[in-house]
Copies of this chain bind each other. A is one copy, B any other.
Amino acid sequence: MSLRFAARMESVPRSFIREILKVTQDSSIISFAGGLPNPDLFPVEAFAEAAARVITEDGAHVLQYATTEGYQPLREWIAARYRDRQGLNVTADDIVITSGSQQGLDLMGKIFLNNGDTVIMESPGYLGAIQAFSMYGPKFVGVPLEDDGPDLDALERAVKDGARLFYAVTSFQNPSGLTYTREKRQAVADILKGTDVIFAEDNPYGELRFRGENVPPLYGLRPENSMLMGSFSKIAAPGFRLGWVATSPEIRQSLVTAKQAADLHTGTVAQRIMYRYLMDNDIDQHIARIRERYGRQGRAMLAAAEAYFPEEVKVTRPEGGMFLWAELPTKRPIMELFDAAIARKVAFVPGKPFYVDGGGDNTMRLNFSNASEEVIDEGMKRLGECIKAHLAGK
C-alpha cells in the first residue's frame, strides 16, 4: 500500500516563512520576521461586548447556517465604505464575504486558472498568493516592482504574451512596503483595458496609511474582469478570519459556487460579531490609532536603518502598512546573514521566496508593526552590525 498525492501538491512551495517563524518562537529573539498586527491595539473589550450582545440577542440566527455570499448588512457596510471613501461604484451585491482574504486567492485560482495558465506576480510578490495559485498549476511570470509601482514595459509584455491573471498588492505591499502612485495605477489600468486579463487587486493594508494622501484602488479604473480584495484582519483583528471580494455579478456567481464547495459559508458568529462591533464603535477612530502607532514604529525602523545600516543598503520608504524591504549590495547568500542574525537574537525574512522567477537573494523583509520603538531600535542596531560583517565578508 502506498500513499500518492495529487500532482498539484508537488508544485506548492513549502512555507518558508512558517519555517522561519519556528526559529523565531524563542522569546529572547527580536523578530522582524512575522507579519502580525500589534495585539496591543486589538479592541478587546469592544469585541467581548459585541460577541455577548449579538449571541444573546439573536442566537438562533447567529449560531445557524447562513448564505454563502455573507451577512447582508456586513456586505452593505463594506460597499458603502468603498463608495464613500474611495469613490468606487460598488454595491452590497458585488461583495462576497470570504474566510480571510487568503480564501479569496484560493477561490480566484479555482475559478480562473487552468493548468499552465500564466499568472503575473509582482517581484517581489505576496507569498500567500504564490502558494494559493500554485495549487492550480500556473506558470508564473514576475514583473519587477519599482518605487512607484510595477515596471510598465515588463507588465505590458506579460499581458501581451497572453497572461490569464495579474495579482497585485497596490498599497503598502507585502513584502516590499511599496505603493502604486496614482499615475502608475492609471497606466496599469490602460494596459489592462480591452484585454481578457483578470486583475486581482489585494488591498489589506490600504487603510493603514501613515504618510501622504489616500489613493483609491486601481479596481475603480478598470472594474471589468477585476476583483478587489479586502480584509478586517489589519483594521480590526485577524482572529475572525474575515475578508471579502468585490467583483462583477458574473464573477461573483462563480465565486459563490466555488466558495460553497469550499466551506459553505464564512462563520456566521464571526460576521455578526464584526458587524455588531462596527455598529457600536467608531472604527475610524480605531484605525487612526493603528495608523499613528504603526507610523511611529515605521519611522523608528527607518531612522534605525539610516543610523545603523551601511549606506549601500537600499531600503524602501513605506507610506503605510507593516513592512519595509531592504536590498544588500552583495551576492553572499543571505541565509548566512540570517544565521548570524539569529545568533545575535534578531530575525528577518530572507526575500528570495517572494520571487517567482529567481533573484532576490540579496533582499530581506522587515516587519515593524509588532515591536515597540525601543525594541525596533535595538534589533536594527544588532542587524546593522550583522549586515556590516556580512558585507565585509566576515
Contacts and interface: CB of A to CB of B under 8 A. Distances in A.
B111 A9 contact: yes
A12 B264 CA distance: 14
B239 A264 contact: no
Contacts of A239: 62-66, 267-269, 272
A14 interface: yes
A135 B103 CA distance: 15
A28 interface: no
A372 interface: no
Contacts of A3: 196, 225, 250-251
A316 to B, nearest CB: 23
A63 B257 contact: no
A281 interface: no
A194 B1 CA distance: 5
A269 B257 contact: no
Question: What is the oligomeric copy number?
Answer: 2
Interface in A41-56: 42, 44-45, 47-49, 51-52, 55-56
A20 B174 CA distance: 43
A128 B262 CA distance: 9
A123 interface: no
Contact of A269 (B110, B224, B265, B273): B273
Interface in A88-102: 99-100, 102
A234 to B, nearest CB: 11
Nearest to A53: B48
Nearest to A270: B267
Contacts of A194: 1
A238 interface: yes
A275 to B, nearest CB: 13
B48 A106 contact: no
A15 B260 contact: yes
A257 B12 contact: yes
Interface residues of A, number: 83
Contacts of A268: 238-241
B63 A56 contact: no
A51 B44 contact: no
Contacts of A240: 63, 267-269
Given A2-B196, A45-B56, A111-B9, A64 B267 contact: no
A64 B370 CA distance: 12
Contacts of A45: 56, 59
A106 B237 contact: no
Contact of A6 (B113, B195, B251): B113
Interface in A103-153: 103, 105-106, 110-114, 117, 128, 131-132, 134-136
B270 A100 contact: no
A342 interface: no
A73 to B, nearest CB: 16
A44 B58 CA distance: 9
Given A37-B64, A128-B264, A269-B269, 8 more contacts: A6-B114, A6-B136, A18-B260, A39-B61, A63-B239, A99-B263, A105-B261, A132-B261
Interface of A: 1-9, 12, 14-15, 18, 36-37, 39-40, 42, 44-45, 47-49, 51-52, 55-56, 59-66, 68, 99-100, 102-103, 105-106, 110-114, 117, 128, 131-132, 134-136, 194-196, 224-225, 233, 237-241, 250-251, 254, 257-258, 260-270, 272-273
17 contacts: A4-B112, A4-B196, A9-B258, A14-B257, A39-B60, A42-B59, A42-B63, A51-B51, A65-B233, A65-B239, A106-B263, A110-B135, A238-B268, A240-B268, A267-B267, A267-B270, A270-B270
